[in-house]
Amino acid sequence: MTMEKAGRISRWEWAAGVIAAAIVAAMIVTLVLKQRAEKTPPRLAVAVDRVAPSGEYFLVEFAVHNTGGSTAAQVIVEGRLAANGGEPEVSQVTFDYVPDGSVRHGALLFKSDPASGSLELRPLGYREP
């Protein structure tokens, strides 16, 4: 092998170098744009996905959406079920993190059938991570 041939860079090496440079540039642009985005407080919304019997309880599956511009930590979701005119049944669950622009799923358990009463799910609060 001559020195001239050993020092030559193949087109596959050039292609790999160009692709790697494009990936690094895309990552840098993404990080800069993410950093410049407006940091608004978390905006949490809860939506029921489905209700199903689960043994002697009723399982209420739901989704927590964070449409705000920052992450919420220790998000508490409370469910209140008012059935038969008595004291409302309360159930809670805590999510470690709900990042901005994400959806997290969870479930609450109730003794009474949610179809027989008025079910309300809402976020109670969060802390900044």
Domain boundaries defined on the chain = 3-36, 44-127
Taking the mean position of all CA atoms in its chain, how far away is CA 64?
A: 7
pTM above 0.85, yes or no: no
Q: pLDDT digits over 74-103, tens only?
A: 999 999 999 777 789 999 999 999 999 999
Distance CA 98, CA 43 (A): 10
Q: pLDDT digits over 31-73, tens only?
A: 888 777 778 899 999 999 999 999 999 999 999 999 998 999 9
- CA distances to 10, 42, 89, 109, 125 from 92, rounded to whole Å, are 62, 19, 10, 9, 12
- CA distances to 23, 63, 108 from 28, rounded to whole Å, are 9, 32, 41
Architecture of the CATH domain 44-127: Sandwich (2.60)
Is-contact 106 46, C-beta < 8 A?
A: no
